[in-house]
């Protein structure tokens, strides 16, 4: 009969302990082993091996193995307390887009542009733009292969600048599909197609919302060149010094085809020589859905120049304040009378919104597939409104506190001076000492001169 070893190992020699450990380790099996040797039991302390903490079932009757030294046991015991290395993250498998069919779609979406550097994606990826967010969302969901717009035949309807918002903006692009080309043409298969809107919205920030898609645009459709009109609104508050009737009179003078070179900023890199644009609608309207009694400049045209709407609005503000006559609009549109643009400040960017874009009537727009997705979409829009409403309440409280606590005699006397403030859509406006009429101001260079200088500069660089 094999003699059992006593459970107390305090009198064992170092060699006996090592042999005992070797014997136990040779019997270990994964997870359901009877021997549970804690890692700290194998550590060295002052040249001796510490006592092993064995579970009760570890007290088995085994003979000691032959007396042999095992450097590997001691070496392994010295590192047993080290933290295990974190598992390496598996590299995300690249998708081979050549194995999938694609389809051309048009997407209608809205965004608040105040937090973005415009709509169009920039050359530097660290510049926040609306398109960058959309392409990143599509890339994460593997709908497009990359952030390069050339890889997905990308086109935008109306390019908005920094701070400008849009309500019915449209883009067209080619996306991955799970249907064959033949199946894509049958609306009965739409329920089997990828839920593009849900996938897109799940990765977009809350101030960008995609809400409609056209799965079968007309042949040759392009969001930019298929657009029949662009509809802008510029919102403003009717301050007491604004004469709405005078602004309405001036706004009507924009109707029809005109040369708008005096109502834009010349971009020499585009080498534009034709500044004629047609305005289909131009009026001042009251926003009946706004309890603050807001108004907006309602403008619809076939195409627009860079900063055209903000320049037009700046002149309308001057007319509304009585600083210019409504006829100043006609003068600025007459390039024989004013061939060079006078210097004047543009209206602010954030009250401007691309409200709508016109497209052929045969386009079938559909929204999200499920009722749950529609509910989530509405909740997202409601939460966004609530956030800005709350911020507006706080801003109003701040204004009232300043008015109550800091509005002393000095401020009262200063305001009684009644300095002229040029309205630029930013509240009280820019204070000036003496107003200088537009037709007496410094003139900018003609577009021809600006374009020629740019060409000469490019020629020297090559």
Query: In degrees rounded to 5, what are phi and psi of residue 331?
Result: -65, -45
Residue 201 has pLDDT above 90, yes or no: yes
Residue that wins the pLDDT comparison between 228 and 70: 228
Among 301, 324, 358, residue at a domain's last position: 358
Q: What burial letters (b/e) apply to 16-52, b meaning 16+ CB within 10 Å?
A: ebbbbbbebeeeeeeeeeebebeeebbeeeeeebeeb
Question: Is 68 in the same domain as 213?
Answer: no
- The CA-CA-CA angle for residues 448, 449, 454, to 5°, reads 100
Residue 243 has pLDDT above 90, yes or no: yes
Identify the band that residue 188 occupies on the pLDDT scale cut at 50, 70 and 90. Answer: very high
Res 126: pLDDT? 84
Question: Is 108 in the same domain as 213?
Answer: yes
Q: Is residue 172 part of a domain?
A: yes
> How far apart (Å, rounded) are the C-alpha atoms in residues 333 and 338?
8
Judged by DSSP in three states, 367 sits in coil
Q: Is residue 84 part of a domain?
A: no
Instruction: Supply the pTM of this predicted model.
Output: 0.77
Residue 225 has pLDDT above 60, yes or no: yes
Q: What is the pLDDT of residues 114-132, one digit of tens each?
A: 999 999 999 887 899 999 9
Q: Is residue 240 part of a domain?
A: yes
Look over the chain and give the mean of its residue pLDDT values, rounded to a whole number. Answer: 85
Residue 62 has pLDDT above 50, yes or no: no
Residue 74 has pLDDT above 50, yes or no: no
Question: Is 252 in the same domain as 299?
Answer: yes
Question: Is 161 in the same domain as 266?
Answer: yes
Identify the band that residue 4 occupies on the pLDDT scale cut at 50, 70 and 90. Answer: low
| Owning domain of residue 57 | 14-78
Query: In degrees rounded to 5, what are phi and psi of residue 36?
Result: -120, 85
Residue 204 has pLDDT above 90, yes or no: yes
For residues 102 and 176, the answer to whether their CB atoms sit within 8 Å is yes
For residues 116 and 127, the answer to whether their CB atoms sit within 8 Å is no
Q: What is the pLDDT of residues 351-406, one digit of tens each?
A: 999 999 999 888 999 998 888 888 999 999 999 999 999 999 999 999 888 888 87
Q: What is the pLDDT of residues 9-27, one digit of tens each?
A: 667 777 777 777 777 766 6
For residues 220 and 390, the answer to whether their CB atoms sit within 8 Å is no
When pLDDT is averaged across residues 340-358 and rounded to a whole number, the result is 97
161, 207, 349, 356: the catalytic one is: 161
Identify the band that residue 446 occupies on the pLDDT scale cut at 50, 70 and 90. Answer: very high
Question: Is 183 in the same domain as 246?
Answer: yes
Domain count, the chain: 2
Q: Is residue 179 part of a domain?
A: yes
Residue that wins the pLDDT comparison between 77 and 412: 412
Question: Is 57 in the same domain as 103?
Answer: no
Question: Is 40 in the same domain as 154?
Answer: no
CB-count burial class (<10 Å; 0-12, 13-18, 19+) for 391: exposed
Question: Is 124 in the same domain as 58?
Answer: no
Question: Is 231 in the same domain as 194?
Answer: yes
Among 299, 329, 358, residue at a domain's last position: 358
List C-alpha distances in Å: 195 to 102, 178, 182, 210, 447.
14, 11, 19, 12, 47
Question: Is 192 in the same domain as 49?
Answer: no
Question: Is 136 in the same domain as 184?
Answer: yes
**Catalytic site includes residue 190:** no
Question: Is 66 in the same domain as 164?
Answer: no
Q: Is residue 404 part of a domain?
A: no
The CATH number of residue 178's host domain is 3.30.70.660
């Amino acid at each position: 009969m094999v003699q059992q070893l006593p459970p107390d190992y305090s009198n064992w020699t170092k060699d006996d302990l090592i042999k005992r450990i070797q014997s136990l380790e040779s019997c270990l099996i994964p997870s359901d082993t009877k021997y549970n040797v804690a890692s700290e039991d194998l550590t060295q302390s002052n040249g001796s091996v510490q006592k092993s903490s064995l579970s009760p079932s570890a007290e088995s009757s085994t003979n000691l193995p032959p007396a042999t030294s095992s450097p590997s046991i001691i070496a392994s015991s010295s590192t047993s307390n080290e933290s295990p290395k974190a598992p390496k993250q598996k590299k995300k498998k690249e998708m081979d887009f050549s194995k999938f069919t694609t389809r051309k779609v048009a997407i209608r979406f809205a965004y608040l542009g105040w937090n973005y550097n415009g709509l169009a994606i920039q050359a530097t990826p660290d510049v926040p733009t609306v398109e960058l967010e959309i392409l990143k969302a599509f890339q994460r969901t593997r709908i497009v292969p990359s952030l390069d717009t050339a890889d997905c035949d990308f086109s935008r309807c109306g390019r908005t600048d920094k701070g400008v918002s849009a309500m019915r903006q449209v883009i067209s692009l080619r996306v991955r599909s799970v249907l064959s080309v033949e199946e894509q043409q049958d609306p009965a298969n739409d329920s089997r197609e990828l839920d593009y809107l849900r996938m897109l919205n799940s990765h977009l920030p809350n101030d960008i919302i995609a809400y409609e898609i056209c799965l079968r645009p007309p042949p040759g459709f392009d969001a930019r060149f298929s657009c029949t009109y662009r509809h802008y609104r510029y919102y403003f508050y009717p301050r007491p010094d604004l004469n709405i009737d005078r602004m309405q009179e001036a706004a009507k003078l924009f109707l029809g085809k005109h040369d708008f070179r005096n109502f834009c900023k010349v971009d020499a890199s585009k080498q534009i020589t034709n500044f004629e644009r047609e305005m289909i609608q131009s009026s001042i309207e009251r926003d009946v859905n706004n309890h603050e009694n807001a108004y907006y400049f309602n403008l619809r045209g076939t195409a627009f120049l860079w900063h055209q709407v903000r320049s037009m609005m700046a002149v309308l503000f001057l007319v509304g304040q009585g600083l210019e006559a409504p006829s100043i609009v006609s003068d600025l549109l007459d390039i024989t009378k004013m061939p060079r643009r006078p210097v004047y400040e543009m209206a602010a960017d954030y009250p401007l919104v691309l409200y709508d874009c016109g497209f052929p009537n045969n386009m079938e727009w559909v929204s999200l597939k499920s009722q749950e997705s529609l509910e989530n979409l509405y909740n997202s829009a409601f939460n966004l409104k609530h956030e800005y409403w709350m911020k507006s309440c706080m801003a109003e409280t701040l204004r009232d506190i300043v008015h109550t606590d800091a509005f002393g005699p000095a401020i009262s006397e200063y305001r009684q001076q009644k300095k002229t403030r040029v309205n630029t859509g930013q509240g009280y406006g820019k204070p000036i000492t003496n107003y200088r009429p537009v037709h007496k101001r410094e003139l900018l260079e003609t577009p021809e001169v600006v374009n020629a200088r740019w060409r000469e500069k490019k020629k020297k660089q090559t």
